[in-house]
């Protein structure tokens, strides 16, 4: 039983989920709606209502969200604020996958309430990540890591503003933000895991 528990604890949920996200968000555009553009359309629009292969993007959102929640409760044990914020981030991703964006083609039927719910949860994802990244600076041991955390939070904010002011490149800004954010998250959580192991090793002495 202890071996199973250790395997579940040590499993790199966010690493594999992030790799899946990167593959899907870069490859699925070639198997989506004909008018879809990787430059100007978002990952949310890959999972849009009544869009070909949308389920792949939506399932990916859910997997990544569940992975974030798992990592939060397994490895952010004593950091309650960060645990809650990362869980909100994960829940936002799950509901983003459950409630889909409007289609990019105007003539396709869609549910406007579902589209509005998607926007709410997508916004929650963005805000919670920025809060999580900045707040992580307060639990890091090294100054360089604290600076990195703050930089990632600020870069996510800057890229969100670019999405707002330069919508013709929405797809580029969002994918860049996802790549930066999840690569940072992988290494940040790995540092927290190592911190847990060092504390446990110290307590056993």
pLDDT tens-digit series, residues 111-135: 999 999 999 999 999 999 999 999 9
Q: Which of 99, 123, 117, 13 is nearest to 48 (CA)?
A: 99
User: What does DSSP assign to residue 33?
Assistant: -
The pTM is what?
0.92
Give the three-class secondary structure for 38: coil
User: Which positions of the chain have pLDDT values less than 50?
Assistant: 199-205
Q: pLDDT tens-digit profile of 59-90?
A: 999 999 999 999 999 999 889 999 999 999 99
CA 142/CA 136 separation, integer angstroms: 12
């Amino acid at each position: 039983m202890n071996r199973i528990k250790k395997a579940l604890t040590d499993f790199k949920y966010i690493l594999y989920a992030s790799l899946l996200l990167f593959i899907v968000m870069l490859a699925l555009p070639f198997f989506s709606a004909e008018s879809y553009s990787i430059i100007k359309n978002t990952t949310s629009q890959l999972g849009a209502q009544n869009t070909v292969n949308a389920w792949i993007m939506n399932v990916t959102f859910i997997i990544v969200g569940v992975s974030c929640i798992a990592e939060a409760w397994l490895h952010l044990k004593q950091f309650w604020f960060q645990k809650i914020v990362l869980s909100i981030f994960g829940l936002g991703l799950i509901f983003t996958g459950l409630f889909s964006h409007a289609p990019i083609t105007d003539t396709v039927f869609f549910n406007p309430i579902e589209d509005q719910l998607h926007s709410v949860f997508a916004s929650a994802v963005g805000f919670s990540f920025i809060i999580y990244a900045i707040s992580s600076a307060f639990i890091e041991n090294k100054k360089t890591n604290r600076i990195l955390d703050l930089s990632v939070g600020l870069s996510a904010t800057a890229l969100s503003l670019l999405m707002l002011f330069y919508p013709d490149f929405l797809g580029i800004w969002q994918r860049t933000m996802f790549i930066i954010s999840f690569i940072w998250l992988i290494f940040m959580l790995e540092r927290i895991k190592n911190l847990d192991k060092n504390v446990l090793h110290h307590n056993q002495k």
